[in-house]
Amino acid sequence: MTPILNHYFARINWSGAAAVNIDTLRALHLKHNCTIPFENLDVLLPREIQLDDQSLEEKLVIARRGGYCFEQNGVFERVLRELGFNVRSLLGRVVLSNPPALPPRTHRLLLVELEEEKWIADVGFGGQTLTAPIRLVSDLVADHATRRVSVVAGG
């Protein structure tokens, strides 16, 4: 097992197997959300934010701090890739109401291709983050904690 996986598994208190399957993806997603907090202090202060693998590991895993979407999903992407998942980052728009124009793409989330299905994983949206990955299927409704979510086709 690689050093990042050893450190990350200790950080989230993971002791199980880590097979490349949907059960592992769901379990890691939930453990990450329950252990590594959303934090945007560096954005607000403002401090320089480093998004390279070593800096993200140091901040979120070793120093036991939290992070915002680019940091959270950056660490999670690296862990999934180290485990053998087919994963890549995407940029998404955050639309919280009906704005007159679509906002820019400012949110990092992950696309995981697994067992011939595509899944969205997002451990970095604060109090509104997904509790588990959702299938990337247009208009499929999924129950998450206290709300229902779906992928909507559009720009």
Active-site residue numbers? Answer: 69, 107, 122
Query: Please, what's the b/e burial string for 61-70 (b: 16 or more CB within 10 A of its CB; e: otherwise)?
Result: beeeebbbbb
What are the residues whose beta carbons fall under 8 Å from the beta carbon of 95, sequence distance 6 or more?
102, 103
H or E segment and range at residue 85 = none
CB 151 within 8 A of CB 120: yes
Count CB-CB contacts under 10 A for residue 45.
8
